């Protein structure tokens, strides 16, 4: 349903009735339910086929609404003041009203205030905090337009509100400030470590995968022995069904039907009988590349090819690091062997 006052009212009615609704945010589309109702949130897990160990993010209008769900420190307030509404999810100690199913039994809760006007109108109209993971079947690529949600969850969701393509295209940055360890990034996203630095007073580190947390931060060794600090961050996530590998300069020669996704429109590289050629941005704009990434991966996945070669974004910081992290997951960490000559 196209975003309109009627759509907002209908979404609010369904949410107050304990049902799930797909809603646009500035990052990706979310599958929302009343965050204070275990039963409503159970429906999210069911529709997505999501394991119950993977906790949900709660969406609120502002810091006051966040305070109902979490214990806010002065640092939390400063971050909210500076970056909300926007693509920053904060992990904070939870309050008793947050059901176990939302936090997967953890003592912390993930909270963010989305910027998309339609999502904000729905939050205001229903007056509830909304738990909402990305509106995709578990493990697949996150949806960045209403059509993506329709294609995969259309038969399982009573309402999809169409708010146009998502402006940012990558899921929010997750920052764990639940202490006593220093703030640490659990998921790279549109808000970069460099942007967070002035408020934190230091450049936050990215937590190593699955490393248990000690008082000074993540402590090794990472692995199955420790608790998952961002339990949803499994290796194969955001993945196309077609096997894929990463390349840096030039894709390898491959006789199978395949596609190459360049970061920037290549000057010389030409398609051939076996090779389809795509790019994320005309001129290498990293924001455009992030915004288009998931839609492009979905298109590549529909072509019936045998392999996808995905080019890494240049640079190791800022938004490039978030794009490369998603590309790495799409490829399950596979790196192409024998790259072709670079000119």
Under the rule (CB under 6 A), what is the footprint of ligand TXA? 25, 27-28, 30, 54-57, 89, 91, 103, 106, 108-110, 114, 132-134, 171-172, 174, 186, 230-233
In the bound complex, what is the minimum distance in angstroms from residue 48's beta carbon to Mg ion? 8
- What's the DSSP call for residue 286? H
In the bound complex, what is the minimum distance in angstroms from residue 335's beta carbon to ligand TXA? 24
Binding-site size, Mg ion (CB under 5 A):
1
Contact 180, 191 (CB under 8 A): no
Nearer to ligand TXA, 20 or 305 (CB): 20
Which stretches of the chain are DSSP H helices?
A: 5-16, 38-48, 63-67, 74-83, 100-103, 117-126, 146-153, 193-200, 286-301, 318-330
Nearer to Mg ion, 169 or 251 (CB): 169
Nearer to ligand TXA, 41 or 280 (CB): 41
In the bound complex, what is the minimum distance in angstroms from residue 6's beta carbon to ligand TXA? 23
Describe the chain by its helix, strand, coil percentages, rounded to 5.
30, 20, 50
How many residues would you count in the chain?
343
Choices 5-13, 126-134, 202-210, 247-255 (CB under 5 A): range interacting with Mg ion: 126-134
**Partner from Mg ion, ligand TXA, none binding residue 129, C-beta < 5-8 Å depending on class:** none
Closest residue to ligand TXA, Cβ-based? 232
Q: Mention every residue, 6+ apart, whose C-beta is less than 8 A from residue 74.
A: none
**Partner from Mg ion, ligand TXA, none binding residue 144, C-beta < 5-8 Å depending on class:** none
Binding pattern for the stretch 129-168 against Mg ion, x by CB under 5 A and - elsewhere: -----x----------------------------------
Q: How many CB atoms lie within 10 A of CB 191?
A: 25
Nearer to ligand TXA, 69 or 305 (CB): 69
Q: Tell me the longest C-alpha to C-alpha distance in the chain.
A: 60
In the bound complex, what is the minimum distance in angstroms from residue 50's beta carbon to ligand TXA? 8
DSSP code per residue over 70-126? BPPPHHHHHHHHHH-SSSEEEEEEBPTTS-HHHHTT-SEEEEE----HHHHHHHHHH
What residue ranges bind Mg ion (CB under 5 A)? 134
């Amino acid at each position: 349903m196209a975003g309109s006052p009627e759509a907002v009212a209908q979404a609010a009615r369904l949410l107050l009735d304990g049902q799930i609704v797909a809603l646009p945010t500035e990052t990706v589309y979310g599958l929302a339910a009343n965050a204070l109702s275990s039963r409503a949130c159970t429906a999210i897990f069911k529709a997505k086929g999501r394991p119950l160990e993977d906790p949900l993010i709660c969406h609120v209008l502002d810091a006051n609404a966040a305070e109902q769900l979490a214990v806010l420190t002065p640092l939390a307030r400063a971050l909210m003041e500076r970056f909300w509404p926007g693509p920053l999810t904060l992990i904070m100690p939870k309050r008793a009203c947050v059901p176990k199913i939302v936090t997967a039994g953890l003592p912390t809760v993930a909270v963010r205030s989305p910027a998309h006007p339609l999502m904000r109108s729905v939050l205001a109209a229903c007056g509830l905090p909304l738990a909402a993971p990305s509106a995709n079947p578990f493990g697949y690529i996150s949806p960045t337009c209403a059509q993506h949600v329709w294609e995969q969850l259309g038969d399982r969701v009573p309402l999809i509100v169409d708010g146009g393509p998502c402006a940012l295209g990558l899921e929010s940055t997750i920052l764990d400030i639940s202490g006593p360890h220093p703030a640490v990034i659990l998921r790279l996203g549109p808000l970069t470590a460099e942007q967070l630095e002035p408020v934190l007073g230091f450049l936050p580190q990215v937590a190593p995968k699955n490393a248990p947390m000690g008082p000074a931060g993540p402590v090794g060794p990472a692995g199955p022995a420790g608790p998952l600090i961002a339990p949803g961050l499994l290796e194969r996530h955001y993945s196309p069904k077609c096997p894929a590998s990463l390349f840096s300069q030039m894709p390898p020669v491959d006789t199978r039907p395949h596609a190459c996704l360049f970061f920037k429109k290549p000057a010389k590289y030409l398609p051939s009988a076996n090779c389809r050629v795509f790019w994320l941005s005309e001129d290498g704009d990293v924001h455009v590349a992030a915004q288009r990434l998931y839609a492009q991966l979905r298109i590549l996945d529909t072509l019936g090819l045998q392999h996808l070669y995905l080019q890494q974004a240049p640079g190791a910081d800022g938004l490039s690091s978030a794009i490369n992290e998603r590309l790495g997951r799409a490829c399950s960490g596979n790196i192409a062997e024998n790259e072709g000559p670079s000119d």
